[in-house]
Amino acid sequence: MIGFFILGLILHLAAMAIPAVVHDDRLLNRAVNLLNAFALACSLVFSLNSLLAYQPWEMRLALPMVGIIPLACDGITLFFLFTFQLLSLAGSVYAIGYLEQYIERGIRIRWHLVSFTLLILSMQLVVVVQHALAFLVAWELMAVSAYFCIVLEKQRPEVRRGGFWYFVATHASALFLYVFFILLHEKSGSWEFADYARQTGWDAGTLALLLVTGFVGFAIKAGFMPFHAWLPNAHPAAPAHVSGLLSAINIKAGIYGIVRMFMFFPIDRQAFGWALLAVALVSAIGGVWYALAQHEMKRLLAYHSVENIGIIGLGLAVAWLGRCISSPSLVALGLAGALLHTLNHAVFKALLFFGAGNVYLYAHTSEIEKLGGLAKVLPVTGAAFLIGAVSICGLPPLNGFISEFLIYKSFFQGGSLMGGHAPLALLVSAVSLAFVGGLAVACFTKLYGVVFLGENRSKTPPHGHEANSSIPVLVGLATLCGWIGFAPGAALRLVAPAVSEMSGLPAIRLGRELIAPMDELTPVFALLLVMTLLTLVVKIWAQKKAGVRLRETWGCGYQNVTARMQYSASSFAEELVKLGQPLLGLKLHWKPITHVLPEPRTFSSHGFDQVEQGLWIRLDRAIGRALRMLRWIQSGNIRHYVVYIFAALIIYLIIAFAFVW
């Protein structure tokens, strides 16, 4: 089986070599992406098979002179490997159609394709490698290749800005990870993850420092709230197939890191669990609330990634708490919810971003105020986007509901198992998850309603076509959402190896406790589907008998209704955004009507990210001001430099003789 995976990696390397040979962009685009897709299909065979049959694979790659780099595919790695490969396959097939527009506009895509393949390759390496140094090398490789994927359209300044945000954020996370792994190396004396898991006897100070640096490092990459500022800038800047992959799987590398971190520290420390819960809650609520105020499609979806990362964080927090009170069933429940939501989010977020890509292809803008009524023109994208929207809000028949259902169950089970203030805290987090669900419903009804339904709002109706290669991808992802929704038991079997490793539950008990109850959901949803189809049949029969006519919309008698009278995105979400005013930051740009015969007025509202502005931009300016205080050193006057020499001499002599060292 491992042969397939190695074949896949070799084919990826071959795909990176093609741009050197082929020079016609159109042929190049097809060749590289199809080869990538085939390579991913091969390695998918490996990961899926070894995941279901659960054969963990171990290998210690002994490179001459370099040393031994252990590669391993245990349950956790296999699950993330499967998710990455599945979505990269969808991404590369979608890329074929999407890159056509760049070729027409004459933008060179040679380097982009090389970095896209390198991104896919390095993401798989990050998950497989079990050696700290090699992990850091793969981590930075992933960061650099993702950066070059983002800055494909170098002409637009916001693309360059987005790329820069991404580049700085990943380097910041790398710095934290350097300290994290070096501290681990200091304690255990080796670079291999296996040794860290076996390490015992942590003293309190080092453990706290390890947990903080490790979590912050991975949280910046995952996009938890205080560190999320780069995400809504970087993902919209990328072309749709890249931003789809970034949101779906690239930030999951951070989640993989946190899960791997759990394996290192068997010591239970509840404080960290509660802190993780708090951060996850803030990310979930903040993410969706900021999404509500956005009017640009991809930026809105990026904020939703922050929200879903928060939800995954909730599952992980409960799993950590479960381990603290050493109840393996709670750990299994929480972790299963978190990992399944990782897979679900990867699937429907990629679906939504590819849908947004198609909208951009058609209307050449992703500003939702200028769109409308696209469902009639892009039927497949409309239907697929609807399925994506329903599943991201966690509504029943689809996959979003299953993972949120598991996380709710873990909250309630955790509440009943843990005494003291735990029930109150867990109930509050369950309620906030519901609150987040409500906000998500509001946000996605706004997005879908304004973009796909009603009439087109822009003056000149756009022209364009649906990327033909995207249709199978969208349909495939949508059916996957439905399949996980209707057959949750099967999806949980993908998660089972990782969960049983982490929680220590044997596979049989895991099957009975976790997978069996979820299997019983299938008949429930089947009944719902049957009832719906039945009602539909009755409705069609009744309407055929009674007759159907098409007329103008009933506007309470008002005759010439124009497209601009429809509810716009900002008016739809205005009240809710106003509620979060202090945190949310909403700028209204309008002049009040003063005298009797007012000239035409415009109104526009613009939601800005208070955390990003308040925290990071202000920090940037503060650093600039602080550093400017020292700007007088290079004054250009030679006599000042002579004074510096004498001054330095005196200061050093004072240090030498005044302080006793």
Partner 1 sequence: MVTFSSNPFSWLGFVGLAAGAPLLTGIVNKLKARLSGRLGASVLQPYFDLVRLARKETIYSRSSGFITRLAPVIVWNTTAFAVLLLPVGLFPGPISFDGDIILLAYLLGLGRFLQILAALDVASSFEGMGASREARFAVFAEPIFFFTIGSLALVTGRFSLESIVAGIMWDKPLFPIFIIVSSISIFFLMITECSRMPVDDPNTHLELTMIHEVMILDASGFDLMLYQHAASLKLLLYSLLVTSLLNPFGWLNPAAGVALVVVVLAVLAACLAAIETLMARFRLVLVPQFLLYATVIGVLNILIFTFSH
Partner 2 sequence: MMLTILLLLGLPLLSTVYTARSRSLEKNHFATLATGAGHLGATLYLLLTRQNPFPTRAWFGLDPLGSFFLLILSHTFFAVALYSPGFLQRMKKPEYHPSRWLYYPALNSYLLASTLVIVTQHFGLLWVVIELTTFSLVPLIYFYRSKESLEAVWKYLFLVSLGLVFLLIGILALGLATKGAGAHASLVVTDLVRDAAKLDPLWVKTGFVLALVGISAKIGLAPMHPADIDATSNAPGPVAALMAGSLRSTAMLVLLRFYEVACHTSVRVFSQRLLMIAGAFSILVAAVYIWRSRDYKRLLAYSSVEHLGIITLATGIGGVAMLGALLHTLFNSFGKIALFFMAGRINRDLQTRQIDSVHGLMQRLPWSGFVFGLAFFYIIGTPPFGLFFSELLMLRGMVHARDWLVLGLFLVLLMIIFIGMSRALLRMLQSPQPVGLPTGKPLERFHVAHAVSFYALVVSVPIAILRPDFLFGPLRSILTEFGFSL
Partner 3 sequence: MTNALTILFCLTLMYLAVTTRLSSYVLILVFQGILVSGVYTVSFFENFSAAHLVIAGAVLLFRTILIPTYIVKIIRDLDMEHRDQTRRYHPGFLLQISGVIIAALLFSYQFSRITPVLVIPLGTALAGICSGGLLIVRRRLLLAHVIGFLIIENGLFLLGVGVKADLPWVIELGTFLDLFVLIFLMGIAINHLKSHFPEGAGEDLTTLHD
Q: Which of residues 534-593 bind partner 1 (CB under 8 A)?
A: 535-536, 539, 542-543, 546-556, 561, 563, 565-567, 571-576, 579
Positions 124 through 183 that interact with partner 2 (CB under 8 A): 133, 136-137, 140-141, 143-144, 151, 154-155, 160, 163-164, 167-168, 171-172, 175, 178-179, 182-183
Q: How many residues bind partner 3 (CB under 8 A)?
A: 10
How far apart CA 254 and CA 139 sit, in angstroms, is: 10
Positions 635 through 654 that interact with partner 3 (CB under 8 A): 635-639, 642-643, 646
The reply on whether position 485 binds partner 1 by CB under 8 A is: no
Positions 373 through 412 that interact with partner 1 (CB under 8 A): 373, 375-376, 382-383, 386, 390, 393-397, 401, 404-405, 408-409, 412
Could you list the beta-strand ranges (E) of 44-127: 57-63, 67-73
Element (H, E) at 104: helix 100-104
Out of 200, 553, 560, 634, the residue judged to bind partner 2 by CB under 8 A:
634
* Closest CB to partner 3 among residues 20, 645: 645
CB 4 within 8 A of CB 40: no
CB of 492 to partner 1, least distance (A): 14
CB 124 within 8 A of CB 80: no
How far apart CA 446 and CA 399 sit, in angstroms, is: 21
Q: What is the DSSP letter of 459?
A: S
CB 177 within 8 A of CB 136: yes
Residue 463, contacted partner among partner 3, partner 1, partner 2, none, CB below 5-8 A by kind: none
Residue 204, contacted partner among partner 1, partner 3, partner 2, none, CB below 5-8 A by kind: none
- For residue 300 the two structure tokens come to 């809105």
Distances (CA, A) of 585 to 459, 578, 605: 30, 9, 10
How far apart CA 604 and CA 477 sit, in angstroms, is: 35
Segment near partner 3 (CB under 8 A); pick from 166-174, 196-204, 511-519, 634-642: 634-642
* Closest CB to partner 1 among residues 56, 423: 423
Element (H, E) at 607: strand 603-607
Distances (CA, A) of 656 to 642, 646, 647: 21, 15, 14
Task: Count how many residues are written for the chain.
Answer: 661
How far apart CA 384 and CA 366 sit, in angstroms, is: 17
Q: What is the DSSP string of 440-498?
A: HHHHHHHHHHHHHSS---SSS-------TTHHHHHHHHHHHHHHHHH-HHHHHHHHHHH
CB of 499 to partner 1, least distance (A): 18
Out of 189, 420, 631, 661, the residue judged to bind partner 3 by CB under 8 A:
631
Residue 639, contacted partner among partner 2, partner 1, partner 3, none, CB below 5-8 A by kind: partner 3
Contacts of 325 (CB under 8 A, 6+ apart): 268, 417, 418
Phi and psi torsions of 43, nearest 5°: -70, -25
The reply on whether position 624 binds partner 2 by CB under 8 A is: yes
* Closest CB to partner 1 among residues 236, 382: 382
Residue 137, contacted partner among partner 1, partner 2, partner 3, none, CB below 5-8 A by kind: partner 2
Residue 160, contacted partner among partner 2, partner 3, partner 1, none, CB below 5-8 A by kind: partner 2
Q: What is the DSSP string of 381-420?
A: HHHHHHHHHHHHTT-TTSHHHHHHHHHHHHHHHHHHHS-T
The reply on whether position 110 binds partner 2 by CB under 8 A is: no
CB 422 within 8 A of CB 415: yes
**Residue ranges that bind partner 2, judged by CB under 8 A:** 65-66, 133, 136-137, 140-141, 143-144, 151, 154-155, 160, 163-164, 167-168, 171-172, 175, 178-179, 182-183, 185-186, 623-624, 627-628, 630-631, 633-634, 638, 641-642, 644-645, 647-649, 652-653, 655-657, 661
**Residue ranges that bind partner 3, judged by CB under 8 A:** 631, 634-639, 642-643, 646
